[in-house]
Amino acid sequence: MVSITDIREQTVSIASPMRNAVIDFSKMTISAVVVETDLTRDGKAIKGYGFTSNGRYGQSGILRERMIPRLLGARDVASEDGCNLDPFKCWQAMMANEKPGGHGERSVAVGAIDMALWDLVAKIDEKPLYQVLAERYSQGRSNPFVKVYAAGGYYYPDSAHHLLETEMRAYLDMGFREVKMKIGGASLDEDRVRIERVLNVVGDGNRLAVDANARFDVHTAVAYAEAIAEYDLRWYEEPVGVLDFEALKEVRLASRTPIATGENLFSCEDSLNLVRYGGLDASVDYLQMDPALSYGLVEYLRILQMLGTNGWAAGRCVPHGGHQFGLHLAAGLGLFGNEAYPGVFEPFGRFASEMRLEDGLVKLADAPGIGYEAVPEIYAVLTGV
Amino acid sequence: MVSITDIREQTVSIASPMRNAVIDFSKMTISAVVVETDLTRDGKAIKGYGFTSNGRYGQSGILRERMIPRLLGARDVASEDGCNLDPFKCWQAMMANEKPGGHGERSVAVGAIDMALWDLVAKIDEKPLYQVLAERYSQGRSNPFVKVYAAGGYYYPDSAHHLLETEMRAYLDMGFREVKMKIGGASLDEDRVRIERVLNVVGDGNRLAVDANARFDVHTAVAYAEAIAEYDLRWYEEPVGVLDFEALKEVRLASRTPIATGENLFSCEDSLNLVRYGGLDASVDYLQMDPALSYGLVEYLRILQMLGTNGWAAGRCVPHGGHQFGLHLAAGLGLFGNEAYPGVFEPFGRFASEMRLEDGLVKLADAPGIGYEAVPEIYAVLTGV
């Protein structure tokens, strides 16, 4: 029966010079996690790798004091046939003696270990993770070509809009077809200028999404909704406070642009409240919960099931985070696509260079697991944990 | 201008042998925090003490990596006249570069430092904290006699109901008039027997509250609501999932017993959703948000203001946590009362022995600050941090 023999974690800087409408990322960290079992391949322990996405900092304390000792102390974490790990049993072990509610931070710590566990599960199965997921949860249907968009468009000093254009042109040159930019860090008038500059580069409204990072009050959010309606943008992201569903409902009513939100909700319970109260439209809006920040894929599967019973298809989901783990979920579970952060959150925002980006699609590789071994800059950090 | 010179934290066990319907407390910890300024009294630095209430574990990582360095690095944390600290400025400094949402863990770390800051504020003012709060936020009105109830009534091995009776009798002997017991860890029939045994001891339904710790599904919660209606209990606590406001609304409709909830909501935003969606009745129900777990008193003041604009009086609030900090808030801000945990979460569940408990009321002492110096078992731990 497979057992877990070691779990290590290390806090790693992903400091980035940009800032969005709310925070700067100059001190941003993640926790990188390595999980080992008693299984070997070619004489070496098979290792699973995970990390805490981005934006919510490393979680050394919760990992060291609660999640790692509980998982190492669990009696049975094996699949029914004993030949692989069962991430659901691992999840139960990690969450033992945790009170309900308060979904944040803890969800990030669990998510990092969960990512490493699924990496292991797929490696033990000798398949890429997306294929494992498709077989288990999508009747075998998978699509290794994942739609990605480039999240960037931060503010430049002195309103240097030509730098914003240069940034967006660079994304198109890389093979992206869709991009996202920040709004709300300047006046509405200046943001309109910025949006129009970017539209000149990308050519079409549905190739551009805008992101307010939950900064606006209802009044401002509605004013922006009205102002951007003419551009026919892909989506209008996080217009208002992430838990203020009444405000979201008001903005939704006023917005001709699809709404996207959810990256700062970290549980199935919080996601349910979003779809219950937020007034969103399951035929046009997007949900962006990040599995790595939200108790991992085990909880994300619960979220997808909950969404299904509330009329939301997996195809409306575009996870936050820009990690290769998200690509596998998109490919194996039929999600709309995945975020990408070219050049920021280095190196953890990178995808493997063998996974070519063409016409806005990334093709997943066939290596077993998630494939961080094929991203030298990430693998160098992970092997040091 | 007062400045903060040192902040130290230490993880301390508050292991307790009992379990509620959901978790056991045998590995429960807190973070104890000491904050020092450049002010001295009698040649010694004035120290502020805080800790993380109970139930959500210590927060070493978030304290060491984020909150403490940010607060130590803040340029200006002084009140307008420069003679005291400004906990609101401190709060802004600690929460810099934190993304919105995800209210848990981080809220606990901030709450522990916030508690120490208010202890300092009151000591610098040379007044007990409740008096400072009354002067600042309650037009000077305070009541040093705080209504407390004894939270206990856990499950005993082998359904030894006589031990439950013995426990409750001991609370009455200590001076308590009201008690709380757990339900949901046994069948409804057995819980009825337990409730009736306790009623025989305390004599009257409004002296007994029951707590399900968010364990029930709606169906079971409603069945319990109907079964306990005849006892006219003080309240029925956390019947269902803490974020499932639709389920709560159903139970509320079915319950003749007042509902109490909120101890597992850790922000003003989450509390607003409870009063918006939970169907609670501001004339009979109780709210139990724990300031020490919810970003501290700075956020709790926001919660009280939000409650006021939604028709809820401070007098409907009974904070979770059983800490002396909660007593000061109750006395200075006009809350209904405070929880107490005689004999559990030792030593942090203790109040100062000079604060006599008579007829269900604790009288706050006149020492400056919160007064942990007068609780030898707590002070011994805090001076070691």
Residues B373, B379: Cα–Cα separation, whole Å: 5
Inter-chain touch A269–B241, beta carbons under 8 Å:
yes
The pLDDT tens digits for A69-85 are: 999 999 999 999 999 99
* % of chain B surpassing 90 pLDDT: 92
Residues of B in contact with A261 (CB under 8 A): none
Kindly state the average pLDDT of the residues B176-189: 96
Structure tokens that stand for B101 in this block: 């949402």
Structure tokens that stand for A222 in this block: 């509605």
* % of chain A surpassing 90 pLDDT: 92
Note whether B53 and B30 are within 8 A (CB). yes
The strand pairing partners of A286, in sequence order, are A260
At B19 the pLDDT is 64
Kindly state the average pLDDT of the residues A143-156: 95
In A281-320, which positions are buried (b, 16+ CB within 10 angstroms) versus exposed (e)?
Answer: eeeebbbbbbbbbbbbbbbbbbbbeebeeeebebebbbbb
Computed over every residue of chain B, the mean pLDDT equals 96
At B156 the pLDDT is 87
At A154 the pLDDT is 87
Q: Which one, of A300, A315, A308, A310, lies nearest residue A277 by Cα?
A: A310
- Residue A172's region, left for phi above 0, alpha for psi from -120 to 50, else beta, is alpha
* Structure confidence at residue A20 as a pLDDT band (50, 70, 90): low
- Residue A184's region, left for phi above 0, alpha for psi from -120 to 50, else beta, is left
**Residues 199-238 of chain A whose Cβ lies under 8 A from any Cβ of chain B:** 213-214
In B73-105, which positions are buried (b, 16+ CB within 10 angstroms) versus exposed (e)?
Answer: ebeebbbeeeebbbbebbbebbbeebbbbbbbb
Kindly state the average pLDDT of the residues A365-370: 96
Choose the mutation target among A243, A265, A274 for the interface with B, i.e. most B CBs under 10 Å. Answer: A243
How many angstroms from the chain centroid is the CA of residue A124? Answer: 24
Closest Cβ opposite residue A243 in set B27, B59, B270: B270
Choose the mutation target among B20, B60, B97 for the interface with A, i.e. most A CBs under 10 Å. Answer: B97
Inter-chain touch B106–A104, beta carbons under 8 Å:
yes
* % of chain B surpassing 70 pLDDT: 99
User: In Å, how far is B264's CA from the nearest CA of chain A?
Assistant: 6
Residues A348, A12: Cα–Cα separation, whole Å: 10
**Does any CB of chain A come closer than 8 Å to the CB of residue B350?**
no
The pLDDT tens digits for A227-260 are: 999 999 999 999 999 999 999 999 999 999 999 9
Computed over every residue of chain A, the mean pLDDT equals 96
Kindly state the average pLDDT of the residues B23-40: 93
DSSP classification of residue B143: -
Residues of A in contact with B261 (CB under 8 A): none
The number of CA neighbours under 13 Å toward the Cβ of A374 is 16
Q: Which amino acid is at B216?
A: F
User: In Å, how far is B202's CA from the nearest CA of chain A?
Assistant: 29
Note whether B237 and B252 are within 8 A (CB). no
At B17 the pLDDT is 72
Residues A365, A352: Cα–Cα separation, whole Å: 8
Kindly state the average pLDDT of the residues A92-115: 98
Examine the pLDDT at A19 and tell me if it is beyond 70: no
Kindly state the average pLDDT of the residues A134-143: 97
Inter-chain touch B102–A266, beta carbons under 8 Å:
yes
* Structure confidence at residue A196 as a pLDDT band (50, 70, 90): very high
* Structure confidence at residue B153 as a pLDDT band (50, 70, 90): very high
E strand or H helix at B260: strand B259-261
Examine the pLDDT at B95 and tell me if it is beyond 70: yes
Choice among B89, B127, B320, B323 that is catalytic: B320
**Does any CB of chain A come closer than 8 Å to the CB of residue B271?**
no
For residue A341, give the 3-state DSSP assignment. coil
Residues B47, B371: Cα–Cα separation, whole Å: 11
Q: In Å, what is the CA distance from A145 to each residue of A129, A148, A329, B283, B299?
A: 14, 9, 12, 57, 46
Examine the pLDDT at B164 and tell me if it is beyond 70: yes
DSSP classification of residue A142: -
Kindly state the average pLDDT of the residues A167-176: 96
The pLDDT tens digits for B41-60 are: 999 999 999 999 999 999 99
Structure tokens that stand for B98 in this block: 């934190």
Residues of A in contact with B274 (CB under 8 A): none
Residues A285, B270: Cα–Cα separation, whole Å: 24
For residue B109, give the 3-state DSSP assignment. helix
Task: Give the CA radius of gyration of chain B.
Answer: 20
User: In Å, how far is B99's CA from the nearest CA of chain A?
Assistant: 7
Kindly state the average pLDDT of the residues A349-373: 94
A to B CB pairs, distance under 8 Å: 135
* ipTM for the assembly: 0.96
User: Model's pTM, two decimal places?
Assistant: 0.97
**Does any CB of chain B come closer than 8 Å to the CB of residue A65?**
yes
Choose the mutation target among A59, A66, A99, A103 for the interface with B, i.e. most B CBs under 10 Å. Answer: A99
Active site residue B182: yes
Examine the pLDDT at B159 and tell me if it is beyond 90: no
Which residues of A participate in catalysis according to the annotation?
Answer: 182, 320
Give A24's contacts (C-beta < 8 A, 6+ positions apart). Answer: A18, B97
Note whether B39 and B77 are within 8 A (CB). no
Residues B44, B50: Cα–Cα separation, whole Å: 19
For residue A23, give the 3-state DSSP assignment. coil
**Does any CB of chain A come closer than 8 Å to the CB of residue B79?**
no
Give B134's contacts (C-beta < 8 A, 6+ positions apart). Answer: B140, B141, B142, B331, B332, B333
Kindly state the average pLDDT of the residues A23-34: 91
Closest Cβ opposite residue A105 in set B104, B242, B265: B104
Inter-chain touch B101–A24, beta carbons under 8 Å:
no
Q: In Å, what is the CA distance from B378 to each residue of B51, B57, B352, B373?
A: 10, 17, 9, 8
| Cα distance from N-terminal residue to C-terminal residue, chain A | 26
Residues of A in contact with B100 (CB under 8 A): 22, 213-214, 241-243, 264
Structure tokens that stand for B127 in this block: 């007044």
The number of CA neighbours under 13 Å toward the Cβ of A330 is 31
Inter-chain touch B97–A273, beta carbons under 8 Å:
no
The pLDDT tens digits for B207-265 are: 999 999 999 999 999 999 999 999 999 999 999 999 999 999 999 999 999 999 999 99
* Other CB atoms within 10 A of residue A322 CB: 26
**Does any CB of chain A come closer than 8 Å to the CB of residue B99?**
yes
Structure tokens that stand for B234 in this block: 């003080």
At A159 the pLDDT is 82
